[in-house]
């Protein structure tokens, strides 16, 4: 019993070696409880804060060029509204229409795939039996139909949810504007309720601000660049559902190591069922491979050089953990959140670091 008490005491002393660590731990605990516990209710606030944080970089660029902050905020906010209107009135209706068309094509594709599969017993009679293929193709067709119906019902339900649309279309832009306009006022108000000794918080924030700001802005540029180039390429080649597949291409870069693999299947399947295994299909595969190579060889090194130095295993764990916690948005912000955790761990005062700092202070006094 005494050994357990001693171990707990030693562990607590190592994890919380001073008052700063205790204060910072309480701050992280309360913040995490607020984010997780009030996540659904305050989602527009969190989304507005994230968008305002990203747009603030453009505002600061204008301020450094001696543009008044209010004027810079208004210009950046108007650009944000124009981009939002472009997505809402031009991109989303076409995207929804192509999604419906793709889902409606799934039964026909399943039938064609079933015909192709049924030819396998003739070519490989020793490996595959006809009864196994019939069972597999029936199950596949049933699952595709079920998935298509669920997608249609989900899309319809999301469209008719007027309350959610009103909240995000009206309330979100207002939050973004006031977060940008009253940034200093809001930060001053929040600072009143934080501990006066915020050395650890400032240290963590400096690292997180540098890493996350560069990462998210770079990722936005990468998503936009890959979406535009994919849409132009697919449209010029005459590929069906070019807009939808280009959106998949852009979103795929959000999930490292996995997204590029997942997006390959819909692109290849659409091209195969449209053209068959001919020359046009080969040209499409070549163009798709070139897009992925350019993204990996050119875009990523340029946009993310010396940014987010985290081991791939930690990134995968972060994707699984935060994706399971918050779904799509957890996946989107998995690497920034992993960067936050890494910054906290690097800045956390360990016993050895505290002793070294104290000895250096004593030496300086002498």
Domain ranges of the chain: 195-354
The region of weakest confidence among 62-66, 203-207, 314-318 is 203-207
Q: Is 18 left (phi over 0), alpha (psi -120 to 50) or beta?
A: beta
Per-residue pLDDT at 274: 87
Helix (H) or strand (E) holding 298: none
Question: Higher confidence at residue 228 or residue 17?
Answer: 228
Query: What is the pLDDT confidence band of residue 333, given thresholds at 50, 70 and 90?
Result: confident
pLDDT of amino acid 354: 46
- Cα dihedral sign for 158, 163, 169, 172? negative
DSSP 255: S
Residue of higher predicted confidence among 166 and 360:
166
Contacts of 195-198 with C-beta under 8 Å, sequence gap 24+, read 195/23, 195/27, 197/19, 197/20, 197/23
pLDDT score at 253: 81
**pLDDT tens sequence across 120-177:** 666 666 666 666 666 666 676 666 666 655 555 554 445 445 556 666 777 888 889 9
For residue 315, what pLDDT band results from cuts at 50, 70 and 90? Answer: confident
Query: Coil, strand or helix: which one is 253?
Result: coil
Residue 128 zone, left/alpha/beta (φ > 0; ψ -120 to 50; rest): beta
Cβ–Cβ under 8 Å, residues 299 and 226: yes
Q: Select the more confidently predicted residue: 366 or 193.
A: 193
Confidence of residue 362 (pLDDT cuts 50, 70, 90): very low
The whole-number average pLDDT for the span 293-313 is 69
Q: What residue has token string 């939050």?
A: 175
pLDDT digits (tens, 9 = 90+) for 251-277: 888 776 677 778 888 889 889 888 887
| Residues in the chain, total | 366
62-83 tens-digit pLDDT: 888 888 989 999 999 999 999 8
Q: What is the pLDDT of residue 237?
A: 92
pLDDT cut 70: percent of the chain above it: 65
């Amino acid at each position: 019993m005494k050994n357990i008490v001693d171990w707990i005491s030693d562990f607590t002393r190592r994890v919380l070696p001073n008052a700063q660590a205790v204060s910072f731990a309480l701050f992280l605990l309360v913040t995490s409880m607020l984010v997780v516990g009030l996540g659904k209710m305050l989602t527009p606030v969190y989304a507005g804060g994230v968008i305002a944080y990203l747009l603030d970089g453009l505002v600061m660029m204008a301020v450094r060029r001696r543009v008044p902050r209010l004027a810079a905020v208004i210009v950046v906010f108007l650009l944000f509204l124009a981009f939002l209107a472009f997505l809402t009135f031009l991109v989303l209706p076409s995207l929804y229409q192509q999604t419906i068309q793709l889902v409606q094509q799934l039964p026909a594709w399943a039938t064609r795939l079933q015909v192709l599969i049924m030819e396998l017993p003739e070519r490989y009679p020793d490996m595959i039996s006809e009864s196994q293929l019939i069972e597999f193709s029936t199950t596949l067709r049933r699952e595709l139909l079920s998935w298509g119906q669920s997608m249609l019902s989900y899309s319809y339900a999301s469209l008719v949810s007027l309350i959610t649309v009103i909240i995000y279309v009206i309330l979100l832009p207002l939050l973004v504007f006031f977060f940008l306009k009253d940034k200093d006022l809001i930060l001053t108000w929040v600072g009143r309720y934080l501990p006066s000794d915020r050395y650890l918080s400032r240290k963590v924030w400096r690292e997180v601000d540098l890493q996350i700001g560069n990462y998210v802005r770079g990722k936005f540029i990468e998503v936009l660049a890959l979406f535009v180039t994919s849409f132009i390429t697919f449209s010029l080649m005459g590929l069906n559902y070019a807009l939808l597949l280009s959106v998949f291409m852009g979103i795929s870069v959000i999930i490292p190591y996995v997204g590029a693999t997942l997006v390959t299947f819909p692109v290849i399947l659409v091209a195969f069922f449209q053209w068959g295994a001919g020359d046009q299909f080969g040209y499409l595969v070549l163009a798709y491979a070139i897009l992925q190579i350019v993204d990996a060889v050119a875009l990523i090194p340029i946009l993310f050089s010396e940014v987010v130095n985290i081991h791939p295993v930690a990134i995968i764990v972060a994707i699984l953990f935060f994706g399971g916690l918050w779904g799509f948005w957890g996946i989107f912000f998995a690497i920034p959140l992993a960067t936050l955790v890494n910054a906290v761990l690097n800045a956390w005062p360990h016993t050895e670091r505290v002793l070294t700092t104290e000895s250096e202070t004593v030496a300086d006094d002498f």
